[in-house]
Amino acid sequence: MRRMLLPTTVLAAATAVTLTASLASGNAAGSKANTVAAKLVGKWTRTVIQADVTKSGGYGVQGGSKFTLTVKKSGAAVVASPSIGPPFTGKIVAAGGSRVHINIGTPGTNVWTWRVSGGALTFTKVKDSEPDRVAVFEGVWKRQ
């Protein structure tokens, strides 16, 4: 009499084989999952103007405030400005292609596109309901 493998047994075996193959080839899912594109890494500055604040509906950011954004390869990020007090820390998370989630400041679901040209980084909001984050991030940042 033949024994049938239960579907969960087959799935577990397939998962184990896939994980073993990934580890052996150096392509484990976690090895690159927590990194951002090399072009995003570095120190960037931007001055928020009053039009940015008005357009976003921001209320905790003042026009004329200079911000510094520091992004590490891991996606760990810090945004700071003398006008807002202590820096905000968080993470920029790759979301496929030229999209990211900016998980800094007030928690919430968001999606942004980005591009780097020369020494300029441009963030464009796709979806973000936090007006102060939009006021600060949407626009052109200059590499330092």
pLDDT tens-place string over residues 96-137: 999 999 999 998 999 999 999 999 999 999 999 999 999 999
CB of 79 closer than 8 Å to CB of 91? no
CATH topology of domain 34-143: Lipocalin (2.40.128)
Chain-centroid distance, C-alpha 92: 2
Is residue 36 exposed (0-12), middle (13-18) or buried (19+ Cβ within 10 Å)? buried
pLDDT tens-place string over residues 48-100: 999 999 999 999 999 999 999 999 999 999 999 999 899 999 999 999 999 99
Q: What are the extents of the domains in the chain?
A: 1-32, 34-143
**Mean pLDDT along residues 8-32:** 35
What six digits make up the tokens of 31? 């090895």
| Nearest by Cα to 71 from 117, 123, 106, 109 | 123
Residue 10 has pLDDT above 50, yes or no: no
Give 32's pLDDT tier (boundaries 50, 70, 90): low
Look up the pTM and report it: 0.77
Question: CA-CA distances (angstroms) from residue 52 to 36, 61, 101, 119, 132?
Answer: 26, 10, 20, 21, 9
What six digits make up the tokens of 10? 């087959």
Residue 34 has pLDDT above 50, yes or no: yes
Report the pLDDT value the prediction gives residue 33, as an integer from 0 to 100.
61
Residue 31 has pLDDT above 80, yes or no: no
